[in-house]
Amino acid sequence: MNRSVKDYVRSIHDFPHEGIIFRDVTTLFADARGFRMAVDQILHAYAGMRIDKVVGLEARGFILGGAVAHQLSTGFVPIRKKGKLPGTVISEAYTLEYGEAIMEIHDDALRPGEKVLIVDDLLATGGTAAASIKLCRRLGAEVLGCAFVIDLPDLGGRAVLEGMGMPVHALCAFEGD
């Protein structure tokens, strides 16, 4: 049987709150074949493009982004939640369902003109990815696209990113739930 990336994702009902279905990629990462499939499919989408750095979003984007950067033989840059990076950072606030959060990147992590790919596990409302695009652009980098394992299209994140002129690539989608 040929499995897809989606087949490796575990769905956990009522987590972290009742009525939510949490899409767990740790089961994908734990399976050598599934993890390789996900990395290869992301790489395939950007074949032939010059990518200077892969930017991974906290926290599961570090796992996937690190593997993609390794395969591309390029550097990896983390974008983290406020207060997690040492040194001088720039920050970008974004809205959550209830309140606001802040993402940060080292102020010397990217150079003007570098071509970067943003990688994360899941695209929901697009807030984290949009803040990350803004951070990369503020440092003068050219964001080539955003790659995700999972898109939750009902939450509208793809439209937010595409509205910023950003190409979006997702390996699978979970609609309607």
126: Cα within 13 Å, side-chain hemisphere: 21
104 pLDDT exceeds 80?
A: yes
Amino acid at 138: R
Band of pLDDT at residue 99, cut at 50, 70 and 90: confident
Options 60, 80, 92, 114, the catalytic residue: 60
- Phi then psi for 167, rounded to 5 degrees? -65, 140
Amino acid at 164: M
Options 18, 33, 97, 104, the catalytic residue: 97
Q: Is residue 108 part of a domain?
A: yes
Supply the pLDDT for residue 177: 57
- Does the annotation mark 58 as catalytic? no
Q: Is residue 17 part of a domain?
A: no
Q: Are 88 and 139 in contact (CB under 8 A)?
A: no
**Which structural domain, as residue segments, surrounds residue 142?**
49-172
Q: Is residue 19 part of a domain?
A: no
Q: Is residue 63 part of a domain?
A: yes
Q: Is residue 112 part of a domain?
A: yes
**Torsion over CA of 143, 63, 170 and 39, rounded to 10 degrees?**
100
- Mean pLDDT value of segment 45-69: 97
- Does the annotation mark 60 as catalytic? yes
CATH number of the CATH domain containing 63: 3.40.50.2020
Q: Is residue 164 part of a domain?
A: yes
- Mean pLDDT value of segment 103-131: 97
Q: Is residue 61 part of a domain?
A: yes
